[in-house]
Amino acid sequence: MWKQACFICLLIPMLLSACGAAPVKPVAAPVQAVAPRPEPAPPARTARERTIDGLLSEAEAALRQGRFALPAHDNAYDRFRAVQMLEPGNQQAQSGLQGVLLVYVDRVQQALIAGRLHVAAADLRQARYMFPGAQLLAPLQTELDRRSKAAAMSTQAPVPADGRERINLPAQPLTQKSEDVKQMLEQLARRVSQSDESIMIYARNDAEGRWIYKTMKDAVGDYRIRGDIRISRQPALELLSPME
User: Residue 239, Cβ neighbours under 10 Å: how many?
Assistant: 22
Please provide the size of the chain in residues: 244
- Buried-exposed string 14-38: b where 16+ CB fall within 10 A, e elsewhere: eeeeeeeeeeeeeeeeeeeeeeeee
Q: At what angle do helices 179-195 and 138-155 cross, to 10 degrees?
A: 60
* Cβ pair 177, 211 in contact under 8 A: yes
pTM for this prediction: 0.51
Predicted confidence at residue 14, as pLDDT, reads 55
What is the pLDDT at residue 36? Answer: 72
DSSP conformation class of 34: P
Give the pLDDT of residue 65: 93
> How much is the pLDDT for 119?
85
Per residue in 7-59, pLDDT (tens digit) is 455 545 555 555 555 555 555 556 666 667 777 766 777 888 899 999 999 99
Query: From CA 217, how far away is CA 29, in angstroms rounded?
Result: 99
Q: Between the CA of residue 79 and those of 59, 67, 155, 198, 212, what are the distances in Å?
A: 5, 11, 43, 52, 50
Q: Which residues of the chain have pLDDT under 70?
A: 1-35, 41-42, 151-163, 243-244
- Scanning the chain, the segments in alpha helix (DSSP H) are 2-18, 47-64, 76-86, 91-113, 117-130, 138-155, 171-176, 179-195, 206-219
The span from the CA of 122 to the CA of 118, in Å, is 6
| DSSP code per residue over 81-107 | HHHHHH-TT-HHHHHHHHHHHHHHHHH
List, in order, residues 6 or more apart from 135 with CB less than 8 Å away: none
User: What pLDDT does residue 154 have?
Assistant: 53
